[in-house]
Amino acid sequence: MDATAFDRIARLLGGAATRRSGLKAALGASLGLAIAPADGSAKEHGKRDASRAATAQGNGPSAAGPCKKNRCKRDGQCCTGYCLIEKGKKTGKCRCIAVNKPCKKNQTCCGTLACTKGVCTSTKPGRIATGDPCSPGDVCKNAVAACVPYATGNPDGTYCLYPEGTACGNNSVCASGACVSGSCGPAGIPTGGACAQGDTCLDPTANCVAYHSGAPAGAYCLLASGKTCAADGDCISGSCTGNVCAVGLGEACTNTDTCAGDSTCSTYLLGAPVGTFCLLPATKTCENDDHCESSFCTKSACAAACTVCASGCPQTSISSAWSAASAGDEIGIAPGTYDLAIGSIGMDITFRRCGSTGTVAWGNSTYAHTFDVQTGNTLTLGGLSLTAIGSSPSIVYLGGANGSTTKLVAKDVEFHDLVSADYAAVGFDAYVDGEFTNCVFSNNTGSDSYGGGAVYINGGSVSFTDCTFTGNKNGTNDSYEGGAVYAESATSLAFTGSTFTGNGQSGFDGGAMMLSSVENLTLTDCTFTDNIGEDGGALVIEGGSFTISGCTFTGNVAEARGGAIWADFYAPDTGTIINTTMSNNEAQATYWSAGGGAIWAYGRPSPLTVTDSTFSGNKDAARGGAIFIYVNGSTDSTLTFTGTNSITGNSVTDPSGAGSAIAILVDQFSGGSVTVTGAAAAVSGNTTPPAQCSYAASNNAPTAVYSEAVGCVFP
């Protein structure tokens, strides 16, 4: 179509001459024709079209000349973003939307950013810096980084982040959220953050624990005293002073300046444990006993000074203080000698020494029981010396009932030189619990009606921690024995770090302890020295399972069997001995079923297991310089050695005896067997008379084997 024809059409359409170029362009585009403008301005139109095309891509008018960074008349003139023209003005300013800000179209976002899901993000590979937001599948500027979420989930979203082990300068570039010592560490909880058991803390020096102060409640990733901190909430003590975590309540310290809150670096008034600790004075709010100088936290406050003293105190006698007391009270008693029986106790109450020195010597010359705790109540004693006054009756008696919560708590209490009228220095009747810490039981004598010179236990659960038993002996009733302790039918009996020395007497079983049907006995890090009994120089165990770990038995003597231990236990009971040393113990009887310089055990058929233990210098008159196992009945028992054991230097002293290390006797008329495993490697250097090494039982019973140094085969 030529120009003349076009003009004719334009006139027919009523178009003005001034609109000819626009119409030509429109018709040309509609008809697919290249129509040159009549005014010869094709070049200029090409520039504008290129500018519009570039603007549509958000890259500015590259074909129309240099883009504008500041002043503009329309969007296409801006290098990036859009042209913001205020109302009433002909020119405006170039503006763009930053990363992570809301948008509606690509050309409004800054630089290489694109409007993705209504937010300006980068879709151009290889341009996203480490730590910056990204979309899944994006390529990060640093090839080591990947577009992933933080392991902690905070902040939300995906970012270019480094994996564990990559060099870093701050937490925000690591996928774990933790840059530790210049390297991305494993994922975990930030310091001060709430955690659960087994969680990993971002700071490897922090631990998932509770605050010493108890507030806020729960567990958090916290730093120990002396660690560098940024806030109080970073520290176990709850106090960050000078960017260092202060020493918490009850923790060891060297000077007061390092202690948190109102605590000072001082010693416990009762003297245990020994050392200096960050402790609170009287009346300060506390969480537990270990936070207070007095060792007592009652009704959430550290115990005050004396309640009872000669003058200047609220009370001048224990009896008047007791009359005025309410449930849960503490009565602090000044040093002195007191002859008084409290008698029946029907509420929770504490009697304790006040002050850091002096002795509260307390007994009574009138009644059988100084304290008689009734069912469902707790008596707490602290720092007292309970001793013989007048007729020296039993000091503490507790009676209970099934399901009750009757309990005795004794801390730093000495029970000494008592001759009991009934029970023992401490008598627990049925279903009564007890906790003894750092207590001393010395030179006490039990009654003729019950066992135990120091403690009688009938049922319940009782624990002893760091206690000492010296020179105690039971009464004359051989049905209830045990020089220091007699226990029967207890659900749990635990001794930790305790010492038994010189307890027991000739002719009575269980020099240190007589235990009958104790369901769960544990002895941990205890020492038994120079105790004496007829059977069981140190221990008699009749029924119930036991675990002995880290203990030492030395110089104990049994006039009959089991220089250290005499054990008779029934299936499914088990006996376990771990990391224990038995040396220079002795059993003296020579009759046919006697033996066991260290251990005599009756297998019925409960197993005995020995692990990583040492038997040396023990001796027996009959058989089994170290261990004797006796089976009487058609049962199969086992003696098992595991780990590294040493059975050396043990002996049998009678010329007709046998088995200097281990002896096994199966009664020839009743059958049964004992299987010993793992002993051969442990047995060496033991001595025995030239008697038999093995003995064939009659009546088709399995072979009974005695072991001398080397050469015997265990069945």
Condensed to tens digits (0 to 9), the pLDDT of residues 247-270 reads 988 888 888 878 888 889 988 876
Instruction: Check whether the bond before 702 is cis (ω within 30° of 0).
Output: no
DSSP 116-135: ETTEEEE-STT-BPTTSB--
Looking at the predicted structure, is the pLDDT value of residue 7 above 70?
A: no
Looking at the predicted structure, is the pLDDT value of residue 643 above 70?
A: yes
Least confident of 295-309, 368-382, 480-494: 295-309
**Mean pLDDT value across residues 516-521:** 93
Nearest to 715 by CA among 700, 696, 698: 696
Q: Is 559 inside any structural domain?
A: yes
**Mean pLDDT value across residues 396-402:** 75
% pLDDT > 90, the chain:
30
Provide the residue type at 384 as one letter. L
Top mean pLDDT of 32-46, 460-474, 600-614, 695-709 is at 460-474
Distance CA 322, CA 370 (A): 13
Top mean pLDDT of 486-490, 553-557, 668-672 is at 553-557
Question: Using one digit for the tens of pLDDT, what is the confidence trace for 568-598?
Answer: 987 788 999 999 999 999 999 988 778 899 9
Pairing of strands 599-603, 565-569: parallel
**Mean pLDDT value across residues 306-326:** 90
Q: Is 587 inside any structural domain?
A: yes
Distances (CA, A) of 177 to 147, 172, 205: 14, 6, 16
Looking at the predicted structure, is the pLDDT value of residue 602 above 90?
A: no
Looking at the predicted structure, is the pLDDT value of residue 392 above 60?
A: no
Looking at the predicted structure, is the pLDDT value of residue 21 above 60?
A: no
**pLDDT higher at 663 or 158:** 158
| Per-residue model confidence (pLDDT) at position 125 | 53
**Mean pLDDT value across residues 87-101:** 85
Distances (CA, A) of 571 to 539, 606, 608, 635: 20, 5, 11, 10
**Mean pLDDT value across residues 655-662:** 76
Number of domains the chain contains: 1
**pLDDT higher at 684 or 498:** 498
Looking at the predicted structure, is the pLDDT value of residue 682 above 90?
A: no
Q: How confident is the model at residue 272 (pLDDT cuts 50, 70, 90)?
A: low
| Per-residue model confidence (pLDDT) at position 41 | 38
| Per-residue model confidence (pLDDT) at position 39 | 41
Looking at the predicted structure, is the pLDDT value of residue 547 above 90?
A: yes
709: tokens are 């140094």
Strands (E), 111-181: 113-116, 119-122, 146-148, 159-161, 179-180
| Per-residue model confidence (pLDDT) at position 434 | 94
Helix (H, G, I), strand (E, B) or coil at 632: coil
Q: Is 440 inside any structural domain?
A: no
| Per-residue model confidence (pLDDT) at position 32 | 41
Q: Are 99 and 133 in contact (CB under 8 A)?
A: yes
Block residue for tokens 């009896």:
319
Looking at the predicted structure, is the pLDDT value of residue 37 above 90?
A: no
For the entire predicted model, the pTM comes to 0.65
Q: Is 150 inside any structural domain?
A: no
Q: Is 558 inside any structural domain?
A: yes
DSSP 371-430: EEEPTT-EEEEES-EEE--TT----EEE---TT---EEEEES-EEES-B-SSS-SEEE-T
Q: Is 392 inside any structural domain?
A: no
Looking at the predicted structure, is the pLDDT value of residue 18 above 70?
A: no
Looking at the predicted structure, is the pLDDT value of residue 499 above 80?
A: yes
651 Cβ neighbours under 8 A, 6+ residues apart: 597, 618, 619, 620, 625, 660, 686, 687, 688
| Per-residue model confidence (pLDDT) at position 701 | 29
Specify the DSSP class assigned to residue 445: B
512: tokens are 């240190």
Q: Is 707 inside any structural domain?
A: yes
Distance CA 465, CA 596 (A): 29
| Per-residue model confidence (pLDDT) at position 347 | 95
Strands (E), 11-50: none
Looking at the predicted structure, is the pLDDT value of residue 6 above 60?
A: no
Q: How confident is the model at residue 472 (pLDDT cuts 50, 70, 90)?
A: very high
Helix (H, G, I), strand (E, B) or coil at 670: coil
Distance CA 679, CA 657 (A): 20
Average pLDDT, the chain: 80
Looking at the predicted structure, is the pLDDT value of residue 462 above 80?
A: yes
| Per-residue model confidence (pLDDT) at position 157 | 84
Block residue for tokens 């955690």:
195
Q: How confident is the model at residue 512 (pLDDT cuts 50, 70, 90)?
A: very high
Question: Using one digit for the tens of pLDDT, what is the confidence trace for 62-93?
Answer: 334 567 667 888 877 887 788 888 888 888 88
- Residue 689's domain comprises 553-563+583-715
Q: How confident is the model at residue 664 (pLDDT cuts 50, 70, 90)?
A: confident
Distance CA 533, CA 483 (A): 8
Question: Using one digit for the tens of pLDDT, what is the confidence trace for 170-203?
Answer: 888 998 887 877 888 777 788 888 888 777 787 8
Q: Are 618 and 626 in contact (CB under 8 A)?
A: yes
Q: Is 708 inside any structural domain?
A: yes
